[in-house]
Amino acid sequence: MGPGLVAGRRHRTVWEYGMMSTTRGNELSGTPVGWHKAIGRTFALAITQLIFALGGALGSADTAQAQTETQAQTETQAQTEAQAGNRLQEIQVQPLAGNRIELRLMTSGPAPVPLAFTIDNPARISLDLANTTLALPSRRKDVKVGPLDTILAAEAQGRTRVVLNLDTMVPYETRVEGNSIVVTLGAPGAADTAVASFPAAAPPATSTAATASVGRRIDNVDFRRGDNGGGRVIITLSDPGTPVDVSKEGDRILLTFAGTTLPDSLMKRLDVADFATPVSTIESGRTPTGARVSIAAKLPFEELAYQSDNIFTVEVAPVVKQE
């Protein structure tokens, strides 16, 4: 009996506990206390779901914001690189057979197609590189090989000019190869293929040339001071194809416009010394074959001439002494 009763009691106790638990659960479900607990559980579940939903939304917003910021940084970097533009980093000189010379103008990015023009006296070839800054260790390179004496480089308004000073004028040709501009001096037949943006000499005096030059005139001569302390002479032409000869004589820069007329109102001498630039005077006048503008400047200075549409500009900047 002892063991049986003990076993029975244990079984009854378990049964009664189970009945008590079930009964109490059923009883509470229909009471206000049960309702409150059910509502509490439902509310807690809703709050939990809301928290997860808000967390996901915030995570998505943070991801979208991070992507936007990354895209903005990428665009800013691209704009900065675009503004920085190309850089002329090195000029290599290689003698060739037949008294010829090959120059390689090495740039940091894809090389631009150069705009070239020549001056016969003194003999020089000028190459303008658009959207290119100067990054050479020196602005002057003494060569003295074949017809090439020296190479000078200058920069103004995001444009770099390379001037080849020659002992005598020779044919030349240019081509672009990736990040370099190849210039060959003394190449046979190159005189016919050389690019000339504003040639130094006037075209032959034929009936066709005379007809083409009819109506060419200088419409305005203006002066402005640049940000770097230099002077800027701006000449407005009626015809973008007007030939211009640029030469230098002592402290003067001479611009000769062949087959071009100058109105009486522009035949004058401008005193611009008060602008505190190397340029002191600008004198415009006529010649037997056209017009001439003479720019007087204080030595030493660097000049850079370029043309955009019908606007011909000459930048005259002071030479900064290197310590």
Q: Per residue in 195-248, pLDDT tens? A: 333 333 333 333 333 334 458 999 999 999 887 788 999 999 998 888 888 888
User: Other CB atoms closer than 10 Å to residue 100's CB: what's the count?
Assistant: 19
Return the SS3 of 265. helix
* Answer CATH for 207-318 from 3.30.450.20, 2.60.40.3470, 1.10.1760.20, 1.10.3210.10: 2.60.40.3470
The confidence score (pLDDT) of residue 32 equals 56
Nearest to 162 by CA among 266, 304, 313: 304
pLDDT digits (tens, 9 = 90+) for 162-207: 989 898 888 888 899 999 999 999 855 433 333 333 333 333 333 3
Rounded CA separation 7/4 (Å): 5
DSSP state of 45: H
Q: What angle do CA 67, 72, 76 make, to 5 degrees?
A: 150
Give pLDDT tens digits for 34-58. Answer: 555 556 666 666 666 766 666 665 5
On whether the CB atoms of residues 87 and 135 are closer than 8 A, the answer is yes
Question: Is residue 28's pLDDT more than 70?
Answer: no
Q: Which CATH architecture has domain 84-192?
A: Sandwich (2.60)
Measured in residues, the chain has a length of: 323
Q: Mean of the pLDDT values across residues 20-30?
A: 45
Residues 6+ apart with CB under 8 A from 214: none
- Domain residue spans in the chain? 84-192, 207-318
Is 308's pLDDT higher than 60? yes
In the chain, the percentage of residues whose pLDDT exceeds 90 is 29
Q: Read off φ and ψ for residue 208, nearest 5 degrees.
A: -65, -45
